[in-house]
Amino acid sequence: MDFKSYIAEAISKVTNIDKKEIKSYVEIPKDETNGDFAFPCFRLAKELKQAPVNIANNIKDNIEIDSNIISKVDVVNGFLNFYIANECLAKETIQKFDAQKEDYGKSNIGEGKTVIVEYSSPNIAKPFHIGHLKTTIIGNSLYKLYKFLGYNTIGINHLGDYGTQFAKLIEGYKRWGNEYDFSTDPIDKLADIYKRINALCEDDEKVLEECRETFKKFEDGDPYCIELWNKFKELSLIEFNKIYDLLGVKFDSYKGEASYANQRQEIVSILEKTGKVTESQGAKIVDLEDVGISTPCIIQKANGASIYATRDLAAIMYRAKTYDYDKCLYVVGEEQSLYLKQVFAVAKYLGLDEKYTNGLEHVSYGMIRLPEGKMSSRKGNFFKVQDLLDEAISKSKEIIQDRDIEDKDLVAKQVGVGAVIFEDLAESRTKNQVFDLKEALNFNGETGPYIQYMTVRTNSVIEKAGYIPSSNSLNLSKITDRSSIKLLKLIDNFENILLDAMHKNEPSIISRYLIDVAQAFSTFYNENKILSEDKEEQDVRIYITYMTKIVLTNGLHLLGIEVPKKM
């Protein structure tokens, strides 16, 4: 049952104010002692020309409400506080849960709609940095969430595999490639070559000119250049895939920038026909002043070369045609905000159906860095995300070392990686973050391992009981304690949480919710003997534990975190 609607309807009858408006004001009080739902009467003060307290008293006196649904209504400081009847809450929640069981929370609201999630998108021959880790983790979670809600979901890794730097790398590789053993840390070595050739270019104008010519050849599809570029790409992907494997991240497509490079003329000519293109110092630009963006978007350099924006525009055309998407999300750092605004604005001139350009959305995230001095990059060597993951895994292994666990390596991996993932999703994505591994691995903190631990505990309770009672045999009047009610309310709210997280593209809504559920379960577990002498009491408690297990497991899955068998 939608309690909010029920309450809104009853208030609407007394006040004659539209139910929808009322419903939008109904809130869930932070402090439980203020009831399960609250209505702030000051919201109606202007409309009804009365003081909030009077409005509250008037509603309280005249409201018609079924006491089997709402057991109590209180007036506190101009608020109306509503208390849901325990049995009703339990019945509603269990019925809803029982219809889905292991699939609890899944829905088909996305049926018939397609969402593209573009995420990760590292640059070939350059290190996969901590910012790339963040887009990978956020994007993976959104990908799973949309799928869970029934959308046709496409995950794209828009690889940064194009640009003048590859010409330099080719020139460098020609000179010093045979000095390196690429079977280990290939990206470090490519980065080293890149540094050397850059230094040489600075000293020697002739070398720079050679690089320019090589880029021209590369653009024209010279086989030797393409062969080397493929090699760089292959070496880089070996390293990226190691990280993706550890994180359990998959993509439906790795179509990167290079595949759009030869559409530059097509894009430029479409845009020229709109009359929006002007020239500036030999480059072609689209002025965006009239749509409120003061910096124009460059679509072609003075030397005629394709650039980042043109390749993104070509990608939009391709995605519209290939996937007929309803939404296309770009999980990209906030530093590219202006850039993406420009691209989305220029996309409106490509002659695409409005559906496609309206569906473009930047899912931005804040800066992320490591604490001062920690694992900082050694000179000439970049900080590696792989090292961070390895460190998380080995620290987890230390923690579980003395526990009675069969496959410690597997569990250490699940816990270490889970800790890193959760830490990246713990707070609102737009916040800047200092990544603290020690904090992330605190088994008693608001962390991934804490939630994993509570999930494992739900499992062991059920295992110990040896059965899950059937939901229609439960005696719901046995649910009387506050911690059970709190858990039920949270479980009841799972669906809303998922929808909210999807509408805001904000996985942290799920992660914070899971902390609440895990903490509520911990209290429930400490305050109640689950395996009790009273069989009816035991049955309801086991069932609540079972529902908690599914909510935690499904929630963790949506963040991209695995549940260990034991911890």
CB of 4 to ligand ARG, least distance (A): 38
- Judged by phi (left if over 0) then psi (alpha if -120 to 50, else beta), residue 277 lies in beta
Query: In angstroms, what is the minimal distance from the CB of 49 to ligand ARG?
Result: 53
Cα 69 from Cα 357, distance rounded (Å): 46
From residue 404, alpha-carbon distances to 21, 303, 411, 549, 567 in Å are 55, 66, 12, 22, 8
Closest to ligand ARG by CB, 242 or 557: 242
Residue 365 or residue 525: which is nearer to ligand ARG going by CB? 365
Q: Which is nearer to ligand ARG, 127 or 555 (CB)?
A: 127
Phi and psi dihedrals of 461, rounded to 5? -60, -45
Smaller CB distance to ligand ARG: residue 330 or 450? 330
Residue 205 is encoded by which pair of tokens? 């104008």
Amino acid at residue number 70: I
3-state secondary structure 214-272: HHHHHHCCCHHHHHHHHHHHHHHHHHHHHHHHHHCCCCCECCCHHHHHHHHHHHHHHHH
- Whose structure tokens read 């209504």? 73
Q: Which residues bind ligand ARG (CB under 6 A)?
A: 118, 121-123, 158, 160, 312, 330, 332
* Cβ-based nearer residue to ligand ARG, 312 or 492: 312
Cβ at position 112, least distance to ligand ARG in Å: 26
Q: How far, in Å, CA of 539 to CA of 533, rounded?
A: 11
Tell me whether residue 122 or residue 564 sits nearer to ligand ARG (CB atom): 122
Min dist. Cβ of residue 139 to ligand ARG (A): 11
Of residues 165 and 396, the one with the C-beta less far from ligand ARG: 165
Least Å from the CB of residue 123 to ligand ARG: 5
CB of 400 to ligand ARG, least distance (A): 35
At closest approach, how far in Å is the CB of 131 from ligand ARG? 8
Residue nearest to ligand ARG (CB): 160
* Total length of the chain: 567
Cα separation, 328 vs 357, in Å, equals: 9
DSSP secondary structure of 75-91? EETTEEEEEE-HHHHHH
Measured from the Cβ of residue 488, the count of other Cβ atoms closer than 10 Å reads 26
